[in-house]
Amino acid sequence: MNFKRAEDAIIFPWLQQNLTPQRTIVDIGARKGHWFKKIAYYFPDSPSHLFEPTPNIYEWLDSKHRKNDRVNIHGVALSDESNTLDFHIDLELGGWSGLTKQREGGKYRTIKVPVKTLDSYKLKNVGLIKIDVEGNELKTIRGAEKTIKSSKPFVYFECADVHMTNYDYGSGEIFDFFNNLNYNILDLDLNVCTKEQLQEHTASNSSLYHNFIANPK
């Protein structure tokens, strides 16, 4: 398979070597499912749950996968609470849509969406959680703590200061969360990060170094 993005050329071969087949895959912030399509190519028999709160994208995903009993589509945002919250659709950079506005002066359409925790779904045998939530990473993993503790999945997540600037935390808190669960965080050179190295990566301008693998020690 050819990969357009440098990070994809690293993470998918890594997962092919390390992820146990048939364990449940969770894709949080699935958008139109391009990332999921690649992981499903390597793990066609794994049960999967895709979370995408943008209504028209959720409906498109749902119609596309409706006949596949293995793939479950959820039109909700994930965080550390169960609620109904504002979701800001970025009309110019759709991939930057989220529970906070990312860009000063950006054009947005704000809607109400249901918000839940991953733990509320009580998923079993989770092998991989992929998270792309534009700065809401810490709240998302806090809402998945029981699932992470019970299944010990790999967690592949995007994390960049440019997105976290509108939240009241930084990558140091994400490091502490995983460290407390006895996880290492790997950058995409596949090196274990210290807290300081994680903070350096998330502050950089390189999209390659905005992606990380949380790996049980």
3-state secondary structure string, 168-195?
A: CCCHHHHHHHHHHCCEEEECCCCCECCH
Query: Would the pLDDT of 1 be above 80?
Result: no
The per-residue pLDDT for 38 is 95
Radius of gyration (Cα) for the chain, nearest Å? Answer: 16
Task: Find where tokens 């596309």 sit.
Answer: 64
Which H or E run contains 83? strand 83-90
In this prediction, residues 154-175 reach a mean pLDDT of 93
Q: Count Cα atoms within 13 angstroms, Cβ side, for 81.
A: 6
| Ordered alpha helix ranges (H), 43-152 | 55-65, 137-142, 145-151
Tokens of 72: 């479950």
Could you give the C-alpha distances from 190 to 121, 122, 176, in angstroms and in order? 31, 30, 19
* pTM, to two decimals: 0.95
Query: Would the pLDDT of 19 be above 80?
Result: yes
Q: Using an 8 Å Cβ cutoff, are 89 and 108 in contact?
A: yes
Which H or E run contains 108? strand 108-116
Smallest Cα–Cα separation from 159: which of 106, 108, 195, 114? 195
Read off the pLDDT of residues 94-146 as tens digits, 9 standing for 90 and up. 888 888 888 888 899 999 999 999 999 999 999 999 999 988 999 999 999 99
Give the bridge partners for 112, in sequence order. 86
The per-residue pLDDT for 99 is 86
Q: Using an 8 Å Cβ cutoff, are 170 and 113 in contact?
A: no
- Residue 45 neighbours by CB under 8 Å, 6+ apart: 21, 22, 70
- Whether the CA torsion 215, 97, 51, 76 is positive or negative: it is positive
